[in-house]
Every structure is written in structure tokens, then in C-alpha cells.
Amino acid sequence: MKKQTQMYYGADYNPEQWSKEVILEDMVLMKEAGVNYVSINIFGWVSIQPNETTFDFDFLDWLIDLLYKNDIMIDLANGTASPPAWLVHKYPDMMPMTVHGNRLVHGSRQHYCPTSDVYRQYAAALSSEVAKRYHDHPGIVMWHINNEYTCHIHECYCDRCRSRFQQWLKEKYQTIATLNSAWSTTFWSQSYGDWHEIYLPEEMPTFKNPAQQLDYARFISAMNLEIYQIEKAAIAAYSKEIPFMTNLMGLHKYVDGFKWATEMDVVSWNSYPNPFNEMPYPQFLANDLTRSLKKKPFLIMEQAPSAVNWRAVNGAKKAGQMRLWSYEAIAHGSDGIMFFQWRQSKGGAEKFHSAVVPHGEPKESRVFKESCQFGNELKKLQAVVGTTFIADAAIVFDWENWWALELDAKPRKLKYIHQLSRLYEALSGLNLTVDFVHPDEDISGYSFVIAPNLYSASSSFGKKIEEYVTRGGIFLTNFFSGIVNEHDQVYLGGYPGLFKDVLGLTVEEFYPLKDSMHGQISFDGQTFTTHLWEEVIHLDHATALAHFNNDHLPGVPAITSNQYGDGYAYYIGTELAPADLAIVLTKIIQDNDLHKATEEFIEGTTPVSVTCRKGKDYSLLFLLNHTDSTHQIVLKKKGYSILDETNVTELEVDAKNVQIIKFSHTSDHK
Ligand code: GLA
Ligand code: ZN
């Protein structure tokens, strides 16, 4: 398998839109910007297959050779992201259908039904042709399958999807009785006698069966994964040495990343934080989540050099913002930074999306100049490639829980990513680094495991947590966790059924709050404001660390701790502001003597963000200053600043700036 040896830096490159003259100019500009990697042919279908019987690779042959001659590595897409008009015209039935029964038409992109055999066959045929022609070209370092699966099409209600859903359910449940039981169909007289009676969860008079909705979400992710697998298999018939990936979307609801990642050699994601947001925690945590899918370095496959074109107001990235946020990804395990896109389109829907080469003169462009500065700086980061991110704790993340938690008819609307983002903000402030783990993953290597709002989880996960805490693990969960199984059926006997024993408590009743309502809790002599949720907690064996302090829940426990075997299980029965949550987390960390990997390198605490990646015989400390003032860092041992190219024992990290310090495990500091 071809191995990555340098930081990748580059962009989506769509030269189908440009003349050869412009493309030759691009080669010069790419060199200037330090570009060594581009993704091509993502939207190339109609260029290489202008009609059903013609494949025309002249342009792509020329382009691939040109990039190779210019030392630019190629991420070659199979080109299936936007089916050509001739195909749609011939098979209109391949198009997705909305919930209202409208067939979508050609004229945009990603227009295919996730179960269409026509799309699958033609996509596989195109993939074969591309692989046959280019699999042994030395310039190709990556296969880029399709593009952002389910970005636009995350449901389809055509007849074919309905019968495929029935078949998928039959494979899953084997008997209709098992399905009836899993879907709780005795409720509202929903029982089925035959698979053919089952609909997709389309328009219905009122609340839909939640288990049916959950299976539909699983089905959509699975059908798209099948497409990926078909495309990949068509390429793999010719190509063994080139890694496979598709560009994921981080916190994207419709693709179960943990399942998909097993089919990929490298994981990557497209990161589009809003520049108006000073600290875009959801995107920051998506870096950790994406790395965690394989627990290996990942790639930022796309980001905007400045503004996007698809928000209501498309804020531009300020000077330095692109660089700092790129380093945020690198500090959390990314081995490459790519942009969407290289050259700003002249026409089409994305002409106002920023690009490295703008509509105006590149030499006059701040964005181009910053891209050049950053790209050339990345050449110093050779030592970063392939190193392992060191996490202090694990956060349990499950796409299926995301789907289940956000179905309707709950005590209150809760948003999984909002909750995770508040937790992540608190942890970031403490410089406690995290991996995300799937509930089925081994957690025994982590000394601290947090399962935020894990509403839905399997009974085997409950057992795993009991064993983990018995053996000395520290576990933290919060309100509305451990409530239902994977079919959205409640664990009876008092909430949270799954974690009742390990937490040593019972929740009798939920007291959700309106947005404008807030209560208070007292914790260690401090008063915190509650948000969204309160509840009636009864202690079984647990100890209260905080109590609700309001009229309807006076003196009711709000935060608890429970010794269970050799470990402790903590519970927070409300939503807290990140700063308050950080105080609770600090107590848990101190009481249990939990350590951070970075304590080996720096003294005390700092507002600078600190992370660590380890190589074979060295460690790299990433110091990112997201604040507006300079901060002093004192190192515990001598290191080498990769960006400044000097040895250091103490240093200043300027506002919005970054330092990367290398500590050799041998004596030579370089
Ligand atoms: C996505 C797509 C790109 C482009 C960008 C614009 O990430 O993959 O083709 O449309 O969005 O932000
Ligand atoms: Zn369909």
C-alpha cells in the first residue's frame, strides 16, 4: 500500500472548467503555493464519458501526466458524484423521490436514488474504466470514491426504496414476528402480517413509529455504503496498492462514520466552520471524531480558504484564521490540509465560494498570499506525518444514538451535537484531550470515559460499563442517558435503566425546562445555573455532589458520584454552561488523580490549547493560542521549535499563533 511521507497540501481541482492555458498557469501558481496534492475528476463524469458508448480520456491523460511532471500527487476520483444528463434522460427512474412523491430532475448534483441499480451499474462501469486506465500511474496516491455521500440526498421514497427496505428488514429480522416485537407494533395497532405491508416512514397522520424511523436511518446509511463498496470493488479489481477513501463530513447525521471507516484506508472530512464563530467547537470536535474513526491520522480533504457561498451570510476568514484553524486540525491528528477549491469558478452555483486562486489577480490576493505562506511552512512538518495523537479520555459517540435522541415525542427537544459541543468546550478549556469511541469498542485503555446524552445503548454496553468501573475506570454520564435499547424501548424499573446500578441512583421523573426557564444547583459552595433539563433523582448508593435549589425540586440531588468496585461512576442531571461543567470535571479529575499526557512537557495550566502527537522516538507538542493575548509557556525539558527552527525551554506563543515543539527521546533535539 502506498504510504504518505509528506504533509499533503492542496485542493479540489476542477480543470474541466478551464482552458489548457489556464491549467498551465495553475502549475506555476501551485508550485508557488507549496501545493503537492490535488483531488481531480470528482465531477468529471460527463467529460470522460460524454455518451453511453464513448469514453474519452485524452484530457485526463494529459492532466495526470502534467500534474505528475510537476510533482503534484493525485487523489483521483472515480467521477461518479454527478451523473450525466444522458444517463438521467435514458433512466429517469434512477432519480430520488421526495417525501411528497416528486421525482427530482437533472441540473444540480448527487441526483441518484440510493437503491438505483442503474446508478450502481453505471457508476461501477465508470469506476472500472478509470481504474483500468490509471491504476499503475505513479502519480496517483489515493482513490477518491464519489463525493460527500448523502450530503444532499438523505432520503428517498420511491417504490424501489420501499421494496428494498422491506428486503433489508427481512434480512435483519428474519421473521415478521421479530420485527413486530422490535418495532413495538402492538402500540396503535401497527402489527404486520407480511413484509409487503411495510411502508417507508413517509407522510403519516401523526408521530411515526420511532423504531421504523431508526431502521430507515440505518437503511439509508447502509444503502449508500453499498454504493461505496460497489465503486470500490470495481476499482479494487485493478488496483491493490493505492489507498481508498471518500470525503466524509464530520458531524453529518446520515452516514454512520464508524461503520463506513472500516471500508476505508484513510479517513478524511470536509471542514466548513463559520468564520463568524471565534471558536467553532463542533468543527473542532469533528477533527477528533474523524481521527477516532480509525484511531489514525486523518485528512482535511476540503476547507474554504475564506468564505463559503452557501450560508445566508458568508463571512470571510480573517487574516490568520485559515492558518490557525488548519493547525487545530493538524494538532488533533490531521496529516493534510486541502481546500475547496483551487481556482474560483467563473460560472455555476459555486462562483462566489472562495478558492485559493480568486477571480482577481492572485498576486494581489490576501487569500492567495496566505495560502502560499502556509503551504510553504507546512514543508517543515515532515516529522508530524504518521504520528499518533495522544488522548487522555474517551467520549462515547454513536450515530444511532444521535438518530434516536433526536426523534420527536421526547420530554424535550435535545440536540446531540449541541450537548457534545458544550462538553467539548469544557474539556478543551481544561486541555483534556479526547478520542471518540463507538459503544462496541474496547475502552479498557482509557482511565476516563464520558457518555454524554447516550439515550440509546445496548444492554451489552451497560455490562461493559459496569465491568469497566468495577476494574477501576472513571465513568461520567448525564441526563437522558441509558434510557432505551437499540429499538427505542425503555429499560424498565426506573431510569436510567441501563446505568442505574453503576450510578447507584434512580431517576423518578423528568422536569424539562423551557428555553427561558433556569434553575440553580449548588456545587462545592458555588451556584450554577441549570439549562434545558432537571429531574427527580433518588440516591440508592450514590452520594450527592450537588443539589437542585429551586421551588419544585428543593434539595433534590443534581450531580452524583458512586463508588462501584474499584472505580467511580458520576452523573449530572442537568445541562450546565461549559465553564461550570469544567469545574465539575476538574473535581472528577483531581479526586481520581487523572493525568494528562501533556503534563510530561509543560508546567501548570495555560489558556493555550495543548495537544500531543507521538512518533517513533519523539513527541510533538502543539501549542495553539486561540486567545487575543500572548502567553508564556515553560517547558519541563528542552525542545525544538519546528516553526522557528530553534531549541527552546520556554517560549511565548503570540495571540492567534502556533508553536510546534519536538522532544526527541534521544539526546539530539533536532
Ligand atoms: C462540499 C463539496 C464540494 C463543494 C463544497 C463547497 O464540501 O464536496 O464539492 O461543493 O462543499 O463548500
Ligand atoms: Zn429510491
Q: Which atom of ligand 1 is nearest to the CA of 302?
A: 7
CA-CA distances (angstroms) from residue 422 to 190, 429, 574?
Answer: 39, 11, 13
Q: Is the CB of 340 within 6 Å of ligand 1?
A: yes
What's the CA-to-centroid distance between 122 and ligand 2, angstroms?
16
Active site residue 302: yes
One-letter amino acid identity for 409?
A
Q: Which atom of ligand 1 is nearest to the CA of 304?
A: 12
257 alpha carbon, distance to own chain's centre:
7
Q: Is the CB of 147 within 6 Å of ligand 1?
A: yes
What's the CA-to-centroid distance between 95 and ligand 2, angstroms?
7
Whose cell is 438505483? That residue is 116
Ligand 1 mutation target, pool 246, 270, 303, 322, most atoms within 8 A of CB: 270
Whose cell is 513527541? That residue is 619
> Nearest ligand to the C-alpha of residue 113?
2
Q: Bridge-partner residues for 388, per DSSP? A: 614
Ligand 1 mutation target, pool 340, 350, 351, 354, most atoms within 8 A of CB: 340
Q: Is the CB of 308 within 6 Å of ligand 1?
A: yes
| 668 pLDDT higher than 80 | no
Fold of 598-664: Immunoglobulin-like (2.60.40)
Per-domain residue ranges for the chain?
Answer: 8-155+221-385, 159-214, 393-595, 598-664
Q: Is the CB of 399 within 6 Å of ligand 1?
A: no
| 550 pLDDT higher than 50 | yes
Asked if 555 and 569 touch (Cβ cutoff 8 Å), the reply is no
Nearest CA to ligand 1 atom 3: 340
C-alpha–C-alpha distance, residues 349 and 652, integer Å? 44
Q: How confident is the model at residue 29 (pLDDT cuts 50, 70, 90)?
A: very high
Quick one: cell of 55? 469514453
Asked if 356 and 305 touch (Cβ cutoff 8 Å), the reply is yes
Biggest CA-to-CA distance, the chain: 76
What's the CA-to-centroid distance between 470 and ligand 1, angstroms?
47
- H-assigned helices in 358-458: 366-377, 399-405, 416-429
Q: What is the pLDDT of residues 36-67, one digit of tens each?
A: 999 999 999 999 999 999 999 999 999 999 99
Nearest to 250 by CA among 322, 303, 211: 303
Asked if 430 and 594 touch (Cβ cutoff 8 Å), the reply is no
> Nearest ligand to the C-alpha of residue 116?
2
Q: Is the CB of 39 within 6 Å of ligand 1?
A: no
Q: Is the CB of 270 within 6 Å of ligand 1?
A: yes
Q: Which atom of ligand 1 is nearest to the CA of 148?
A: 8
Q: What is the pLDDT of residues 90-129, one digit of tens each?
A: 999 999 999 999 999 999 999 999 999 999 999 999 999 9
Nearest CA to ligand 1 atom 7: 270
Total length of the chain: 670
CATH class, range 8-155+221-385: alpha beta
Q: How confident is the model at residue 332 (pLDDT cuts 50, 70, 90)?
A: very high
Active site residue 241: no
Q: What is the pLDDT of residues 495-511, one digit of tens each?
A: 999 999 999 999 999 99
Q: Over pLDDT 70: what percentage of the chain? A: 99
Nearest CA to ligand 1 atom 4: 340
Average pLDDT for residues 189-203, to the nearest whole number?
98
* pLDDT number for residue 299: 99
Whose cell is 448523502? That residue is 150
Q: How confident is the model at residue 337 (pLDDT cuts 50, 70, 90)?
A: very high
What's the CA-to-centroid distance between 340 and ligand 1, angstroms?
6
Q: What is the pLDDT of residues 459-483, one digit of tens each?
A: 999 999 999 999 999 999 999 999 9
Nearest to 162 by CA among 97, 241, 100: 97
> DSSP assignment, residue 142?
E
Q: Which atom of ligand 1 is nearest to the CA of 249?
A: 7
* pLDDT number for residue 33: 98
C-alpha–C-alpha distance, residues 223 and 628, integer Å? 47
- H-assigned helices in 49-207: 58-69, 85-90, 117-134, 159-173, 176-182
> DSSP assignment, residue 81?
S
Nearest CA to ligand 1 atom 5: 340
SS3 478: strand
> Nearest ligand to the C-alpha of residue 146?
1
Q: Which of 148, 155, 370, 486 is catalytic?
A: 148
Q: How confident is the model at residue 666 (pLDDT cuts 50, 70, 90)?
A: confident
Burial of 342 (0-12, 13-18, 19+ CB in 10 A): buried
> Nearest ligand to the C-alpha of residue 81?
1
3-state SS of 523-558? ECCEEEECECEEEEEEECCCEEEEEECCCCCCCCEE
DSSP string across 580-623: HHHHHHHHHHHHTT---GGGGTB-S--SSEEEEEE-SSEEEEEE
C-alpha–C-alpha distance, residues 477 and 454, integer Å? 8
Q: Is the CB of 150 within 6 Å of ligand 1?
A: no
Where does 393-595 sit in CATH, by number? Answer: 3.40.50.880
Average pLDDT for residues 267-284, to the nearest whole number?
98
Q: Which atom of ligand 1 is nearest to the CA of 272?
A: 12
Q: Is the CB of 298 within 6 Å of ligand 1?
A: no
SS3 325: helix
* pLDDT number for residue 667: 60
* pLDDT number for residue 552: 86
C-alpha–C-alpha distance, residues 641 and 346, integer Å? 42
Instruction: Count the alpha carbons within 13 Å of 160 in the hemisphere toward its beta carbon.
Output: 17
Long-range contacts formed by 125-129: CB under 8 A, 24+ apart: 125/234, 126/45, 126/48, 126/49, 126/78, 126/79, 126/80, 127/78, 127/80, 127/231, 127/232, 127/234, 127/235, 128/234, 128/235, 128/237, 128/238, 129/48, 129/49, 129/55
Q: What is the pLDDT of residues 146-155, one digit of tens each?
A: 999 999 999 9
501-512 core/surface letters (b: 16 or more CB in 10 A; e: else): bbbbbbbeebbb
Q: Which of 129, 155, 231, 302 is catalytic?
A: 302
Q: What is the pLDDT of residues 592-608, one digit of tens each?
A: 999 999 999 997 899 99
What's the CA-to-centroid distance between 304 and ligand 1, angstroms?
9
Q: Is the CB of 465 within 6 Å of ligand 1?
A: no
Q: Bridge-partner residues for 248, per DSSP? A: 269
| 669 pLDDT higher than 70 | no
Q: How confident is the model at residue 670 (pLDDT cuts 50, 70, 90)?
A: very low
- H-assigned helices in 430-567: 459-470, 500-503
* pLDDT number for residue 587: 98
CA angle 570, 575, 578 (to 5 degrees): 90
* pLDDT number for residue 551: 86
CA-CA distances (angstroms) from residue 272 to 33, 167, 310, 322, 652?
Answer: 21, 37, 10, 11, 29
Nearest CA to ligand 1 atom 2: 148
What's the CA-to-centroid distance between 218 and ligand 2, angstroms?
15
One-letter amino acid identity for 252?
H
SS3 434: strand
What's the CA-to-centroid distance between 156 and ligand 2, angstroms?
4
Q: Is the CB of 301 within 6 Å of ligand 1?
A: no
* pLDDT number for residue 474: 99
Asked if 420 and 575 touch (Cβ cutoff 8 Å), the reply is no
Whose cell is 451556584? That residue is 527
Other Cβ atoms within 10 Å of 157 Cβ, number = 21
Average pLDDT for residues 256-284, to the nearest whole number?
98
Mean pLDDT score of the chain: 97
Q: Which atom of ligand 1 is nearest to the CA of 42?
A: 9
Q: Which atom of ligand 1 is nearest to the CA of 310?
A: 12
One-letter amino acid identity for 274?
N
> Nearest ligand to the C-alpha of residue 103?
2
* pLDDT number for residue 603: 79
C-alpha–C-alpha distance, residues 30 and 9, integer Å? 10
